Amino acid sequence: MVVKEILNETGDKMKRASEALRREFAGLRAGRATPALLERIMVDYYGVQTPINQLANISVPEPRLLVIQPWDKTIMPNIEKAILKSDLGITPANDGTVIRLVVPQLTEERRQELVKNVRKSAENGRVAVRNIRREANENIKKLEKKGEISEDESRRTQDEVQKLTDEAIREVDRILAAKEKEILEV
């Protein structure tokens, strides 16, 4: 049935919106070392932009230290260059066999700035969810106008879309709360 397709598609799109937010937050530095910090860094590997995690083993021996051990030692300068060019703001230390990244302690001012940015991203996530809701409701109203579904079924389906929206926004809020807690943790 067409209504079920709209509901399934709407639910999937809303899940993808919250997953995108979760991925975005994973790459944010919150004073703690995590391999996710390096996810978006691409390294020039013989002319091909390659994710750093496909070129090296990344480990976290201490809470504020990342150790990158490339499988091919000849690409160490390229990895260093990619880290320096990124927006991480961490200077790599190369000892010839591994690259160490010491994640500095965040200042209170920087924490507040990060929280502000995280809230803005979460609001963008909520807006994306609401846009998905609007699109679904427009499709439902079109079906009602064409006479493919009754007015009652249209109203019921719009209520279902609203329930999906409420759940997706709660999920965005949960992701936001967890990231804020992580950032403000000293």
**Which tens digit of pLDDT belongs to each residue from 52-89?**
888 889 888 888 888 989 988 888 889 888 888 887 77
| Dihedrals phi, psi of 149, to nearest 5 degrees | -135, 155
The domain that contains 148 carries what CATH number?
A: 1.10.132.20
> Going along 71-170, which residue ranges are E strands?
93-94, 99-102
Which residues form the domain of 150?
2-26+107-184
pTM above 0.85, yes or no: no
Same domain, yes or no: 177 and 112: yes
Structure confidence by residue, pLDDT tens digits, 17-63: 999 998 888 767 666 777 877 878 888 888 889 888 888 898 888 88
Domain boundary among 49, 75, 102: 102
